[in-house]
Structures are given as C-alpha cells and as structure tokens.
Amino acid sequence: MFEYRACHFFIKPFNERCINRFFDSMISHPKIPPYAWVPFGHGAHLCLGMKFATLEIKAFIYQILLHYEIALTANYAFSISGLPVAKPTDDVPLVFCERKS
C-alpha cells in the first residue's frame, strides 16, 4: 500500500527528508510501479484536499502572470524533441519582467 516508502526503490530511506526523492538520480530501481506515488489517492478514494490544492496552484500561477511578463532570452534557439511527448531538448531560460501598472 505504501510503495513510496519502499527502500528498494529509492536510495535514501523514507524517514530521511529528501526533496529530490522522485528525481531520476535518486531512484535506485529502473522502473518504479505506476502507483508507487499517488499523493491524492486514486479512483473513488480521492483526497478531499485535491481540489483545494489545484485551486491554490491556479491562484499562484494567476498571481505570477498578473504581475510579471514571461519571455525567452533574446539569443535562445528553441529546439524540440518529439518522442514520446514534445518537450524542449535543453533547459529553457526564462526572463521575468515586472508588469507596469
């Protein structure tokens, strides 16, 4: 039931605080089961706080977009790798400029 606590999947034990727990470099097992980490539950037993957490994230992003303009750096060459999902091939340098009221 608590697969995210399984020591054989992760390098550091669960009781040790590690913010990078789910990054690829911290995983000792090549394939973690798909439901090893489901923070808000799944199916009929969803967490009641999931909708609230989603609303908080949307409000946070709204405030960022309200107060800042986000742009790419001037000399950045954008390239995409398309398999299996389209994503940038490298880090995308963003510039946050404060909006003028």
The predicted structure's pLDDT at residue 1: 41
**Distance in angstroms (rounded) separating the CA atoms of residues 13 and 11:** 7
Domain ranges of the chain: 1-37, 46-101
**How many CB atoms are located within 10 Å of the residue 61 CB?**
10
DSSP letters of 35-71?
A: TS--TT--GGG--TTHHHHHHHHHHHHHHHHHHEEEE
Where residue 2 falls among pLDDT bands split at 50, 70, 90? very low
Q: Which residue has the higher pLDDT, 35 or 42?
A: 42
Residues 6+ apart with CB under 8 A from 11: 26, 27, 28
